[in-house]
Amino acid sequence: MRSKISAANERELLLRRLTSNRPLSTSDERLLGELTWRSEDKPARTQFVQEGDRPTESCLLVQGTIVRSRYAEDGRRQILSVHIPGDMPDLQSLHLERMDYGLETIGASRVAFVPHSALNAVFARSSSLSATFWRETLVDAALYRTAIFRNALLDASARLANFICEMHIRHQTVGLIDENGFHLALSQEGIGEVLGLTNVSVNRSAQQLRAQGLIRMDRGQIQVLNFKVLAKLGQFDTTYLHLPEVAMSPRRGSSDRTDREKRLG
């Protein structure tokens, strides 16, 4: 259940993730490489960080699927976010003392831990590296925004479409996708806990999307057949993922903000 392996995998995974937007300086890369990770394998359905905890380390998901969760009084679970390899789902515990959510595995997963003290030491030495990690938590917040939007304004099918689009792109970004699509350990009930729907509703929505030829979805294997239509249906816009801008359009000059104001109502 525990192993102190050479942290080569963790380092590489993290590096790939952090540099997906802009390259790190060689000194930052070296600093990053000095971090020591402790890896652990977790079985499926295991809550390994809990609400109220005061972690002294943060984790990196190396393999598998984990979720952030919060429970209602009657025991129902809300999944706040779904994480795939490369994510650091409790980086924020570096600055927020108590956990306000739990972390649990969905399928069997491999998780690597790094002490807060080590991270802080590194950030004190490099403000650019600090900014890179800060940015990660900001993208995370952007995903939350989309969850709020999605669950409030879209109906069941559109929610599912939107969610599948997000997971598709995120898997694509870290190279976890092939001709059969990507693997998502979440059951239909689990997807319901993300989208604020029941398993029944998710099932019926999935059937609709399948009937329209937009997706294939079979026991955790999801394939997007028509991304464009799926995205349209789910009102999906990649902006919030803050991916690298391939064909960087010339930056719009910093025009006077007041010129662009819009009166509402």
133 and 92 in contact (C-beta within 8 Å)?
Answer: no
Taking the complex as a whole, the smallest distance from the CB of residue 57 to DNA amounts, in Å, to 29
204 belongs to the binding site for DNA (CB under 7 A): yes
* Structure token pair of residue 169: 């792109």
Q: Number of residues in contact with a second copy, rule: CB under 8 A?
A: 74
Would you count residue 140 as binding a second copy (CB under 8 A)?
A: yes
Q: Which of 15, 24, 118, 139 binds a second copy (CB under 8 A)?
A: 139
Helix residue ranges per DSSP H, 174-248: 188-195, 199-211, 227-233
The SS3 call for residue 98 is coil
User: Can residue 153 be called a binding residue for DNA (CB under 7 A)?
Assistant: no
Q: Which of 3, 6, 26, 52 binds a second copy (CB under 8 A)?
A: 52
User: Is residue 253 exposed (0-12), middle (13-18) or buried (19+ Cβ within 10 Å)?
Assistant: exposed
Range in contact with a second copy (rule: CB under 8 A) among 3-11, 71-79, 170-178, 222-230: 71-79
Q: Between residues 127 and 221, which has the closer beta carbon with respect to a second copy? A: 127
46 binds DNA (CB under 7 A): no
Instruction: Out of 12, 34, 100, 178, point to the residue binding a second copy (CB under 8 A).
Output: 100
CB-based contact 203:82 (threshold 8 Å) = no
Contact residue for a second copy among 76, 179, 246, 247 (CB under 8 A): 76
Instruction: Report strand pairing: 77-83 vs 66-71.
Output: antiparallel
Lateral strand order in the sheet of 77-83: 77-83, 66-71, 102-105
